[in-house]
Amino acid sequence: MTKLLKALVGSAFVALVASGCASGPQYKEVASSIPTLKEAQGRIYFYRSNSMFGAALQPTINLNGTPVGKSQAGGFFYVDEPAGQYVVSTATETEKTVSFKLDAGETKYVKTSVGFGLLVGRIIPSLESADEAAKNLEDLHYVANPTTAAVKKGGRNTVGTTE
């Protein structure tokens, strides 16, 4: 009976951790279908490595205070925005931010990673180089986020996500 209980608990743990990971087509499968940028816009990719550490943490990613998606282990998504100043924020027990200027025609890459917190982990956004992002994106999964439907209705052009 003890072996059965251990097997059930182990299976439940694996299912819980796996539910925190992104699913969907890999970047290499969708890269060729990503549309080109409109003239006055820039693109921001958001991604998170496929580490099991902190996989259950999936806070909302905000762009200038507006939700654009979730930080999911093994996932990526992108938004197209007009040129301007941007602040990306995530919050668990504390809010973490990264700020940058986006120019028309430019692509920025924001990586979210798990850090230690007092009670729960923290998801920390950081700007990454195009070379570093290219290495990381290759095996990640495209995630369509339900929050983007509300964002589109608010006037933001959130390309690369589904309603």
Query: Any idea where the domains of the chain sit in the sequence?
Result: 2-153
Task: Quote the pLDDT of residue 89.
Answer: 97
Q: Are 46 and 72 in contact (CB under 8 A)?
A: no
- The rounded distance, in Å, linking the Cα atoms of 78 and 137 is 12
pLDDT at 62: 97
Low-confidence ranges of the chain (pLDDT < 70): 1-23, 118-120, 145-163
pLDDT at 136: 94
- Return the closest-CA partner of residue 137 out of 38, 22, 36: 22
Question: Alpha carbon of 126 to those of 17, 73, 99: distances in Å?
Answer: 24, 15, 9
Whether the CB-CB separation of 46 and 68 falls below 8 Å is answered with: yes
pLDDT for res 2: 54
* Whether the Cβ atoms of residue 3 and residue 129 lie closer than 8 Å to each other: no
Q: Note whether 107 and 80 are within 8 A (CB).
A: no
Using an 8 Å Cβ cutoff, are 70 and 59 in contact? yes
Which helix (H) or strand (E) segment is 150 a member of? Answer: helix 147-153
Global pTM reads 0.76
Matching residue, tokens 């990673």: 113
What lies within 8 Å, CB to CB, of 65 at 6+ separation is: 87, 89
Closest by CA to 28, choosing from 156, 138, 159, is: 138
Q: Give the length of the chain.
A: 163
